[in-house]
Amino acid sequence: MELFFLGTGSGVPSKERNVSSLVLRLLEERGTTWVFDCGEGTQQQILNTNIRPRRIEVIFITHLHGDHIYGLPGLLSSRSFQGGETPVTVYGPRGLKDYIDISLELSGTHLRYPLYIEEVEEGELFEDEQFIVEAVKLEHGLESYGYILKEKDQLGELQPEKLKALGVKPGPIYQKIKNQPRTVLEDGRVIRREDVIGPAKKGRKVAILGDTRYLPHLEEVLKDSDVLVHEATFAGDEEKMAYDYFHSTVKQAATLAEKANVGELILNHVSSRYQGDSVEELLEEAQNIFPNTTIAYDFYQHPIKRI
């Protein structure tokens, strides 16, 4: 599980940062890629990476401001020409379906794969054997959401020494024992999986928020996230401006991370007014409140490790 930041700026592209787009690579977990927002130029950014659009399974749009969606029709279209045949589901606020449908229709675009568009409300979006994904409503003037991904706990590792002690020789039977609660051996003995595996592997929790004012009440839903990705459009002394423009400061993001007891904070959506040394000053402001903070930059990769 790895976060790959394709665009980390706010509003308009700059020489240092493209507009919003973030990829969550789940290659080991499910062989796919999830995309969060798709600002203008996302395709171009992808060309500078080893990300494969045909692996895209889900796209989450936080809100419908242009710097978060203008790259979406092009990415969906190009995926057809790059060998993408598997279905893609796009989640996002009301109006997203009209935007996509009209863009594809007026441009005469015909996709070679099934496309599903789900307009979201706050609450659980889906659950499968690996993940639960929830949408949480934010405050940005325009309808805006954050997405919380909860990985389910996984089985612990099979303990070969325990099986050998029981006289079970290595072979295909080991995988069979791990795959089912009870296994009957050829000699009639019953092996219970729970007796021969190690502790369960705790699932990871990742929170990726869209543009928002500082919302202290999010502390509960974000609690104990392994990683929180939060916008940091303004410096700490610009709190009034951040409020007026429905954004957050670096200090507010760090405060929320500290109160929610998250493992790591990654700041994103940095205004183009901050360049060079001033970005380091933003980082210092945040780390004074929440030391385990990173400011993302374009093409920054961040593995999400199991604790």
The span from the CA of 266 to the CA of 144, in Å, is 19
What is the chain's Cα-based Rg? Answer: 22
The CA distance from 123 to 194, in Å, is: 33
- Give the whole-angstrom CA distance, residue 151 versus residue 132: 7
Structure tokens at 212: 């928002």
The tokens for 155 are: 């089985």
Give the strand order in the sheet containing 145-151: 123-127, 131-137, 145-151, 205-209, 227-231, 264-268, 293-295
110 is in an annotated binding site: no
| Of 251, 307, 258, residue with least CA distance to 283 | 251
| From 67, 226, 237, 277, active-site residue | 67
- Please report how many Cα atoms fall inside a 13 Å half-sphere around the Cα of residue 157, on the Cβ side: 3
Residue 217 marked in a binding site: no
> 59 forms bridges with which residues in the sheet?
35, 90
Q: Outline where DSSP puts E strands in 138-180.
A: 145-151
Q: How far apart are CA 144 and CA 135, in angstroms?
A: 10
Residue 128 known to bind ligand: no
Write the single-letter amino acid at 140: H
Catalytic residue at 67?
yes
The 3-state DSSP class for residue 256 equals helix
Binding residues for Zn(2+): 63, 65, 67-68, 140, 211, 269
Binding residues: 63, 65, 67-68, 140, 211, 269
The residues annotated as belonging to the active site are: 67
